[in-house]
């Protein structure tokens, strides 16, 4: 919202895009819609006046109708089990004739083909650039910048909590101390299991395989080892041998047309393009028939994810104008 506001002049002058906020919804505030426009500043925390009794939308469909939404941004938290309720929100948006932009990975893992077909049928966009590497160009890059390549596989570091934790362990901290440190700097959540057990990274691997490699892999098909078993002694021994522990995401096509995918702590030599990535920096190396390509996003902040949503917004609105 802040970034949308900050880029308002650019959007208007460079892309001819004007926008207003006509709906906000969250567990805390419920379904708030006002087709005439809501105050974006209020959306940032000051709250909205309550709708008169009995007039507030009661579900996503009523809310989309009341908001007369042209674009939905879906940014609820990940449900890795079934991708809900985000998938239903995105479907409702597309069915109502709005573009659907998701920062949530769940719907891709659980309903990519369906959402894609629905978007196509409705001539709307279903975009999700920010799901894997914030604002760094991944999904928008492939069809446009890398047409007709054969993507054979990829390797990457896609989870910042584990990357921060492993870096702190290299400084001599235990796993628990390193987690506490990551929580203090605002990288790790109160319950960091999703990160430490490799779930977040595995979901990202599944998203990449499904979308970029065209193989409808299931989350449980991604081999997954977290970093809880890595000891400070192992990290220190690796460092002494000129290596570093990283939680590596990996996928490669198999000879039977499938994909073998994994998330696993691995020791890398310092010369490896993945080894020098510190803190929240993420990296993906693509192995293609024409050349190898690495994309690094350096120490992204909150603005990077917001930018991924903004860039999808511009692509959706501009291409459909």
Binding residues (CB under 8 A) for a copy of itself: these are 3, 7, 10-11, 14-15, 134-137, 140-141, 144-149, 270-271, 273, 276, 285, 290-301, 303-304, 307, 310-311, 314-315, 318
Q: Which of 194, 159, 163 is nearest to 181 (CA)?
A: 163
Between 49 and 143, CB nearer to a copy of itself:
143
Minimum Å gap between C-beta 126 and a copy of itself is 17
Q: CB under 8 Å, gap of 24 or more: what pairs does 254-258 form?
A: 257/215, 258/215, 258/217
**CB closer to a copy of itself out of 16 and 47:** 16
253-287 b/e (C-beta count within 10 Å ≥ 16 → b): beeeeebebbbbbbbbeeebebbebebbbbbbbbb
Question: In a 3-state reduction of DSSP, which class is residue 105?
Answer: coil
Is 204 considered catalytic here? yes
Pairwise CA distance, residues 277 & 294, whole Å: 12
In the complex with a copy of itself, which residue's Cβ is closer, 89 or 250?
Answer: 250
Helix (H, G, I), strand (E, B) or coil at 113: helix
218: its two tokens: 């299931």
Report, in Å, the least distance between residue 151 CB and a copy of itself.
13
Of 7, 91, 105, 204, the active-site residue reads 204
Q: Are strands 99-102 and 223-224 parallel, antiparallel or unpaired?
A: unpaired
CB of 3 to a copy of itself, least distance (A): 8
Q: Which two structure tokens, joined as six digits, stand for 98?
A: 């709005």
**Cα–Cα distance measured from residue 5 to residue 3, given in angstroms and rounded to the nearest whole number:** 5
Q: How far is the CB of 225 from a copy of itself (least distance, A)?
A: 27
Task: Closer to a copy of itself by CB, 116 or 315: give it.
Answer: 315
Cβ of residue 2: shortest distance to a copy of itself, in angstroms?
A: 12
* CB nearer a copy of itself, residue 225 or residue 311: 311
Q: What SS3 state is found at 264?
A: strand
Residues 178 and 175: their CA atoms lie apart, in Å, by: 5
Residues with catalytic annotation?
A: 204
């Amino acid at each position: 919202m802040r970034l949308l506001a900050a880029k308002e002049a650019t959007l208007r002058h460079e892309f001819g895009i004007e926008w207003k906020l006509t709906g906000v919804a969250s567990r805390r505030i419920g379904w708030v819609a006002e087709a005439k426009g809501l105050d974006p500043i209020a959306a940032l925390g000051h709250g909205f006046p309550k709708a008169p009794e009995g007039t507030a939308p009661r579900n996503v469909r009523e809310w989309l109708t009341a908001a007369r939404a042209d674009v939905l941004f879906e940014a609820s938290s990940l449900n890795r089990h079934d991708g809900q309720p985000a998938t239903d929100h995105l479907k409702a948006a597309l069915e109502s004739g709005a573009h659907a932009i998701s920062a949530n990975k769940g719907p891709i893992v659980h309903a990519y083909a369906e959402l894609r077909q629905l978007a196509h049928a409705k001539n709307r966009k279903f975009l999700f650039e920010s799901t894997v590497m914030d604002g760094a160009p991944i999904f928008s890059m492939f069809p446009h910048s890398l047409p007709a390549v054969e993507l054979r596989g990829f390797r990457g570091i896609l989870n910042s909590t584990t990357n921060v934790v492993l870096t702190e362990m290299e400084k001599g901290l235990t796993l628990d101390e390193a987690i506490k440190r990551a929580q203090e700097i605002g990288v790790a959540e109160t319950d960091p299991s999703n990160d430490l057990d490799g779930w977040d990274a595995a979901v990202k691997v599944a998203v990449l395989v499904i979308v970029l490699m065209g193989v409808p892999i299931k989350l449980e098909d991604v081999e997954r080892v977290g970093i809880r078993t890595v000891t400070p002694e192992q990290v220190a021994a690796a460092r002494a041998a000129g290596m570093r522990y990283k939680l590596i995401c990996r996928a490669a096509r198999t000879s039977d047309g499938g994909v073998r995918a994994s998330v696993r702590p691995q020791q890398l030599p310092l010369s490896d393009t993945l080894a020098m990535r510190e803190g929240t920096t993420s990296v993906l190396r693509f192995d293609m028939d024409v050349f190898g390509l690495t994309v690094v996003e350096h120490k992204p902040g909150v603005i990077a994810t917001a930018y991924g949503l903004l860039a999808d917004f511009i692509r959706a609105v501009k291409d459909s104008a």
